[in-house]
Chain A
Amino acid sequence: MVDLASWSTRTPPNLVRLVFVALLSIGLMMLDHQGEHLAKIRSALSIALYPFQAVATVPTRTGAWLIEFFRGDRAMREDYEKLRADRPLLLAKLQKYEALEAENVHFRRLLNAAERVSERALVAELLQVGPEPFTRKLVITKGGQHGVYLGQPVIDAFGIMGQVTEVDPYTSRVTLITDPSHAIPVQVNRSGLRAMVFGTGQDAVAVRYLTALADIQVGDLLVSSGIGGGFPAGYPVARVSHIDNDPNEAFLAVDAEPVARLGHNKEVLLIWPGSAAKPPAKK
C-alpha cells in the first residue's frame, strides 16, 4: 500500500531551531504590536509578494469583466439613462445643501461656535478584500503618495466603513468597523446616549458596556460622536438590530447592522476631517 522505498527516513527533528524561530516570532509580534518599527520590513516584503496579490485578484477581475461583457449594450444604456435622470435631482438637492451649509456656517458664527469645515474627500478604488479569514480588512488603491495617513476615516455613500491602519506608498489597508480589532465611539441619534461600537469578525457589530437602563431601542441609528478625534462627528455608523437583556449579565447585549455597505463597494471615500486636514500631496 504505502510505497516505503521512496520515503526517506533520515530525520532532523530540530527543537533548537524551533525554539529559535519561536523567540524570533514573539519578538517580531511584540515589535509589530508596539508601533511602526517594522513598517519598512513589512512594506519591503509586501512589494516582494505583490505578484501573489496580483494573481489572486485575476479570477474576480475576469469575472467582473465577463459580466460586464455579457450584460451587453442595453443594460448599460439603461444604467446610463437612470444615472442621467438622477443627476438633475441630485444637483437640485446639492444646491439646497450648499445654501443650507452657508446658512449653517453663518448661524454658527453668530453663536460663536467653531466653524465646522466640510471635509475634503478622495475616491479610492478597492484593490482587494483582506484575505485572512475572520478579519475584515480592505486594500485600497491610494497610499502615502496621495496624502493618506494612519487612522484616516473611510466612508461610503451610506456611512462610516472603517479606518486606515497601514499605509504603503501606493496602497493602504483599511480595517472595517466589523473587524474584531476595531472600535468606534458613537452616539444614539435619538437619545444622544454615548456608546462604543466594536467589530466582531461577523457581519454585525456589537455595542458593549451599556447597562439595562440605557436609553437604546431596536431600530436606533448610531452616528459617530467625534469623541477621540479620529472620526468626524455625525456620520451614520450602524442601526441597532437586536437587544438582549439577560439579568445574569452586567451589560446589555446589543447587536447592530453597519449602515455602510461594507461588502458591496468597489469605490470608497477617504476623508480629511476639518482640523486634522492634511491636503493630498498629489491628485
Chain B
Amino acid sequence: MNLSSAARGRLTIAASFAAALLLAIVPGPDWAEPFRPEWVGLVLIYWCMATPQRVGVGVGWSVGLMLDVLYGSLLGQHALAKALIAYLTVRFHTQLRMFPRWQQAASVLVLVAINHLLVLWAKALASEAPVGWSYWTPSVVSMLVWPWLFVILRDIRRRAKLA
C-alpha cells in the first residue's frame, strides 16, 4: 500500500496499542493474574518517550478510557492514571532517553506504580479496593518486561520510520 508516512506512523502506533489492549484482557489462569505486566502502560510510556509530539496526554487518556470500558471499571479511573503517566513521560522524555537501560527500567517501575496507585485510590474512594500486597506485583513484572519490550518497539518504530 502507498500510505503517506504520517498515516503509516499513526497506523503503527494504533496497532501497538490494540495489541496491548488485547494482551491486557486475554484470559489466563488465576494464579498468573498478579504476574500480568501493565501492557497498555508500558506501550504508552514507550511512545510518549520516543514520539512525544505524536503520543501524549490525549492519547493516554483515550486508551485509558478504553481500558475502563473493557474492564467494566468506574469510567475515568484508568483514563486519569494513563493521562498522568503520559504527561510525566513526555515531561521527562529527554532524560528517559539518555538513561542506561536499567535506570530506564527503574523509572518505568516508578511510572507504572504511580499508575497503579491512582487506580487504587479511585477504587478505595468507591470502596472497592483489593486487599493484599500482590496488587503491586504487576508493577515489578512490568519493570522486568521493559528492556525486552523496549527493543521490540524500537525495531517496530525504526521499520515504520517513525520519529
Contact = CB atoms under 8 A, between A and B. Distances in A.
B52 interface: yes
A55 B135 CA distance: 26
Contact of A132 (B61, B71, B76, B87): B71
A113 to B, nearest CB: 37
Contacts of B125: 29
A99 interface: no
A56 B50 contact: no
6 contacts: A6-B163, A29-B126, A45-B69, A133-B138, A135-B130, A181-B126
B53 A8 contact: yes
Interface string B123-158: 101111111101100100000000000000000001
A32 interface: yes
A21 B80 contact: yes
Contacts of A135: 71, 73, 128, 130
Interface residues of A, number: 59
B77 A25 contact: yes
Given A7-B50, A52-B21, A53-B25, A12 B131 contact: no
Interface string A174-205: 00000111000000000000000000111100
A12 B129 contact: no
Given A22-B80, A25-B76, A46-B69, A11 B26 contact: no
Interface in A114-151: 128-135, 137, 139
Interface of A: 2-3, 6-15, 17-18, 21-22, 24-29, 31-33, 38, 41-42, 45-46, 49, 52-53, 55-57, 59-60, 128-135, 137, 139, 166, 173, 179-181, 200-203, 206, 263
Contacts, number: 156
Contacts of B83: 18, 21-22, 25
Tell which of B80, B97, B135, B138 has the most Cβ of chain A within 10 Å: B80
Interface in B26-73: 26-27, 30, 33-34, 36, 50-53, 56-58, 61, 65-66, 69-73
A12 B90 contact: yes
A3 B25 CA distance: 34
Contact of A131 (B27, B74, B122): B27
A131 B53 contact: no
A72 to B, nearest CB: 24
| Majority secondary structure of chain A interface residues (helix, strand, loop or mixed) | mixed
Nearest to A41: B75
Contacts of A33: 74, 126
Interface residues of B, number: 56
Contacts of B84: 18, 22
B113 interface: no
B51 to A, nearest CB: 6
A44 B154 CA distance: 35
B94 interface: yes
| Interface pairs A-B: 4 shortest CB-CB | A181-B128, A201-B130, A28-B76, A25-B80
Contacts of B130: 134-135, 180, 200-201
Given A6-B158, A28-B75, A29-B122, A14 B22 contact: no
B106 interface: no
B123 to A, nearest CB: 7
